[in-house]
Amino acid sequence: MITSSEPGSFPWAVLAERHPVLIQQVRDAFPLAPAQHAALDALLAEATEGVIGPLGADAHDRERWAAWGQGYFGRSWFDVPFLWAESYFYRKLLGALGHFTPGPWQGIDPFGPFKAAELAGKLVDEELAALDELAGQPADVQAPALLAGSLWGNRADLGFRIDSGGAHESTAAGSDSRLVTDESARLWALLPTGGAATVHLVADNAGRELIPDLVLVDHLLHSERAADVVLHVKPHPYYISDATMSDVIDSLRRLTHAPAAGYAAEIGRRLWAATAAGRLTVRAHEFFCAPFPYSAMPDALREQFAAATVTVLKGDLNYRRLVGDQLWPPTTPFAERTAYWPGPVAALRTLKSDVITGLDRDVLAALEASGEAWRTSGTHALVQVDARSR
Ligand SMILES: O=P(O)(O)OC[C@@]1(O)O[C@H](CO)[C@@H](O)[C@@H]1O
């Protein structure tokens, strides 16, 4: 089980360095009141030097977290599972700002200004304009390009950029990026044209990741590889740039408001129509912000995934939750770790944390010999697919 107790390790740096920077960024981005600053001071002290405390007496989810955190309260944040500590940090950060409390700050996204700046930026303009090159191309040319766009879009993660200093601004496929495993042929085999598939896509980041995800969704629907798509997003702001329903709305608007003659706007209009026709549905189950691996998912969610032709999970955190946030031997078969999933499942992920499975022995040897921080730097990616039906 990965914890943050090893000074200098990746999870240690997230808790000791990334979280304090994030608190400061939120202070800088909002005109906070004294009580909110005081709550952030308390969170900063608790999460870096103190012990894990319960939620406040009036928190709507106090009981739930009391159960989820049994055995962790009173311990250092660095000594409990990394996945749990990060989730609880985001829960407490939202609480400190009044996100869940009836009043003027209820529902305010503390990461909204960062997401908005990214979405309005010229990189998105360029990425939308680049779609024009694909317009009119046959589906078999579009498919791999759009899958790569969605995959590498995962590198544009605002949390990740806190400590990479913006070094990973470009998400262009093939730049300095490498695939450590590519099982995309298995994914396409599950989605033949006219096959009336139902695809579930578990989204990760908003903005520059969600837009290429939506473009891929449009491709699946328009090329009739999928009859319908269910897009799963977070029920509340999480891990900085994780997508919520408002982010889906903003991204769809960004697409439809692209220059009218371009392909991006056409895609936006088609997606808008697909939502009205019930072919594209958005859901936001509470479990997507829970501090546990997907092996602990509730039955209601399990039933949804069981009905999918394939579920595609985006990003690093979803991968950690899919295979378990543990230091598996890297050659552990992916399908061994996903055997509990109720149907075919695929992971599209750039590597931004220590967890890895499903590597070929020779690929692993070459990566280890490279001396690069291949597990955490976001320069490498994977497409892994467990295509077995259950
Ligand atoms: O899920 P995502 O957006 O691809 O990545 C989430 C992430 O930035 O957050 C964690 C550290 O906070 C790491 O697992 C990973 O680097």
Q: For residue range 24-81, list pLDDT tens digits in order.
A: 999 999 999 999 999 999 999 999 999 999 999 999 999 999 999 999 999 999 999 9
CATH architecture of 119-386: 3-Layer(aba) Sandwich (3.40)
Looking at residue 166, its pLDDT comes to 39
Q: Indicate whether this model's pTM tops 0.90.
A: yes
Tens digit of each residue's pLDDT (9 = 90 or more) over 279-323: 999 999 999 999 999 999 999 999 999 999 999 999 999 999 999
In the chain, helix, strand, coil percent, each to 5? 50, 10, 40
* Most informative mutation of 2, 3, 9, 14 for ligand 1 (most atoms within 8 A of CB): 14
**Phi and psi dihedrals of 271, rounded to 5?**
-65, -40
Give the β-pairing of 280-283 and 345-350: unpaired
Task: Please determine, for residue 123, whether its predicted confidence score (pLDDT) is greater than 50.
Answer: yes
Tens digit of each residue's pLDDT (9 = 90 or more) over 169-208: 444 444 445 899 999 999 999 999 999 999 999 999 999 9
Looking at residue 163, its pLDDT comes to 52
Rounded to the nearest angstrom, the distance between the alpha carbon of 29 and the centre of ligand 1 is 22
Q: Where are the alpha helices (DSSP H) in 30-68?
A: 34-49, 62-68
Q: How many residues does the chain have?
A: 390
Contact 243, 257 (CB under 8 A): no
Tens digit of each residue's pLDDT (9 = 90 or more) over 337-355: 999 999 999 999 999 999 9
Tens digit of each residue's pLDDT (9 = 90 or more) over 74-110: 999 999 999 999 999 999 999 999 999 999 999 999 9
DSSP assignment letter at 377 = S
Which atom number of ligand 1 is nearest to the Cα of residue 157? Answer: 3
Looking at residue 156, its pLDDT comes to 83
- Which of 178-204 are b and which e, b meaning 16 or more Cβ less than 10 Å from the residue's Cβ? bbbbbbbebbeebbeeeeebbbbbbbb
Residue 4 beta carbon below 6 angstroms from any ligand 1 atom = no
Which atom number of ligand 1 is nearest to the Cα of residue 319? Answer: 1
Residues 182, 218: Cα–Cα separation, whole Å: 22
Residue 254 beta carbon below 6 angstroms from any ligand 1 atom = no
Residue 205 beta carbon below 6 angstroms from any ligand 1 atom = yes
Looking at residue 260, its pLDDT comes to 86
Residue 294 beta carbon below 6 angstroms from any ligand 1 atom = no
Global ipTM: 0.96
Which atom number of ligand 1 is nearest to the Cα of residue 241? Answer: 3
Instruction: Kindly list the domain boundaries of the chain, sorted by start residue.
Output: 10-110, 119-386
Rounded to the nearest angstrom, the distance between the alpha carbon of 339 and the centre of ligand 1 is 24
Which atom number of ligand 1 is nearest to the Cα of residue 350? Answer: 4
